[in-house]
């Protein structure tokens, strides 16, 4: 995830002063307006950790996908990536391609720690978090993938977690009950092969060489196309041009925490300060203007 995550995300850091004031408050203190650490991740992380609404959404997606899986297996002309599938793909064994983080793995404990500590994403800390193997499964994902596995579908994880993070990721996922491919390497990490960078289409093509890819799952446009860094209009065009895929053979999981949707308003430019990025995000809003 790291190589993808840095360029696609931005987390606004609580000001050090605010954090100091906050930690200095006693339980009964009235919170001054400027005393609470500000972090854009608060509501998103709270939603993922505490809402039934989030869990019902992901469980619903995976439940609906089950029905689509049965249809896909019965129809040998069905593929989720026709442009990469080649000829006679109906004879190839079926496979599913999924992203890992925030598609099947819930990393809200890490995000929550950024909020509570008033700090920002760090690749080094992220790797330590991965190696701690405390990642949780997103509701519905394990059951769906175990069902697919029982039907003879190979499950490939196309993740931007790094090669260094791969062994702990696999151990964590095994413990959670995800099918891990037996003697086939089904965790395709970023940087594992020279042409496996953050954009994922080269890895989709790699899977499609030997398998009929019947479904894809992600939480980011980059889990479906390398065009995720386009302008807002280009991203919208991709969305509408591919309308028939969504909920049919492509499944998008909600990720309110981070992603190319968030970095798009500041042109994916993480060299900008947190305040500059926030300003550009606010400018991207389409607000209602009350009458005078």
- Torsion, CA 107, CA 111, CA 112, CA 116, rounded to 10: 160
Element (H, E) at 275: helix 274-283
CB of 157 to Mg ion, least distance (A): 11
CB of 108 to Mg ion, least distance (A): 13
Strands (E) across the chain are located at 94-98, 105-106, 136-137, 154-162, 187-190, 212-218, 250-252
Q: In terms of CB distance, is 78 or 217 closer to Mg ion?
A: 217
Q: In terms of CB distance, is 78 or 228 closer to Mg ion?
A: 228
Q: In terms of CB distance, is 101 or 262 closer to Mg ion?
A: 101
CB of 24 to Mg ion, least distance (A): 37
Q: In terms of CB distance, is 21 or 191 closer to Mg ion?
A: 191
Q: How far is CA 292 from the centre of its chain?
A: 42
Of all residues in the shown chain, the one whose CB is closest to Mg ion is 101
Q: Is the distance from CB of 221 to CB of 263 less than 8 angstroms?
A: no
Q: Is the distance from CB of 194 to CB of 157 less than 8 angstroms?
A: no
Angle, nearest 10°, between helix axes 108-117 and 123-132? 130
CB of 258 to Mg ion, least distance (A): 9
Chain residues in the site for Mg ion (CB under 5 A): 99, 101-102, 219
Tokens 């050090």 — which residue? 16
CA end-to-end span of the chain: 48
Q: Is the distance from CB of 193 to CB of 159 less than 8 angstroms?
A: no
CB of 122 to Mg ion, least distance (A): 18
Distance CA 209, CA 183 (A): 18
Q: In terms of CB distance, is 18 or 223 closer to Mg ion?
A: 223
Q: In terms of CB distance, is 99 or 249 closer to Mg ion?
A: 99
SS3 292: coil
Q: In terms of CB distance, is 39 or 107 closer to Mg ion?
A: 107
CB of 103 to Mg ion, least distance (A): 5
- Nearby residues of 39 by Cβ (< 8 Å), 6 or more positions away: 11, 12, 13, 14, 114, 115, 118
CB of 190 to Mg ion, least distance (A): 12
């Amino acid at each position: 995830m790291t190589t993808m995550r840095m360029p696609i995300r931005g987390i606004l850091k609580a000001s050090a002063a605010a954090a100091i004031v906050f930690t200095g408050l006693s339980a009964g203190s009235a919170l001054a307006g400027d005393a609470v650490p500000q972090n854009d991740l608060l509501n998103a992380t709270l939603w993922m950790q505490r809402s039934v609404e989030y869990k019902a959404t992901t469980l619903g997606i995976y439940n609906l996908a089950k029905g689509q899986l049965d249809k896909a297996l019965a129809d040998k002309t069905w593929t989720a990536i026709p442009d990469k599938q080649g000829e006679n793909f109906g004879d190839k064994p079926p496979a599913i391609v999924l992203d890992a983080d925030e598609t099947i793995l819930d990393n809200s404990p890490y995000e929550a720690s950024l909020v509570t500590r008033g700090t920002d994403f760090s690749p080094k800390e992220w790797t330590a978090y991965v190696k701690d193997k405390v990642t949780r499964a997103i509701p519905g994902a394990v059951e769906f993938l175990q069902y697919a596995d029982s039907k003879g579908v190979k499950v490939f994880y196309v993740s931007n977690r790094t090669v260094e993070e791969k062994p702990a990721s696999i151990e964590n996922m095994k413990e959670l009950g995800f099918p891990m491919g037996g003697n086939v390497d089904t965790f395709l990490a970023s940087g594992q092969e020279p042409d496996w960078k953050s954009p994922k289409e080269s890895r989709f093509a790699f899977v499609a060489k030997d398998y009929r890819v019947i479904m894809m799952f992600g939480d980011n446009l980059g889990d479906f196309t390398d065009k995720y860094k386009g302008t807002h209009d280009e991203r919208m065009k991709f969305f509408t041009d591919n309308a028939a895929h969504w909920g049919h053979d492509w499944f998008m999981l909600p990720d309110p925490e981070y992603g190319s949707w968030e970095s798009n308003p500041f042109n994916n430019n993480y060299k900008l300060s947190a305040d500059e990025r926030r300003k550009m995000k606010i400018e991207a809003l389409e607000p209602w203007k009350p009458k005078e």
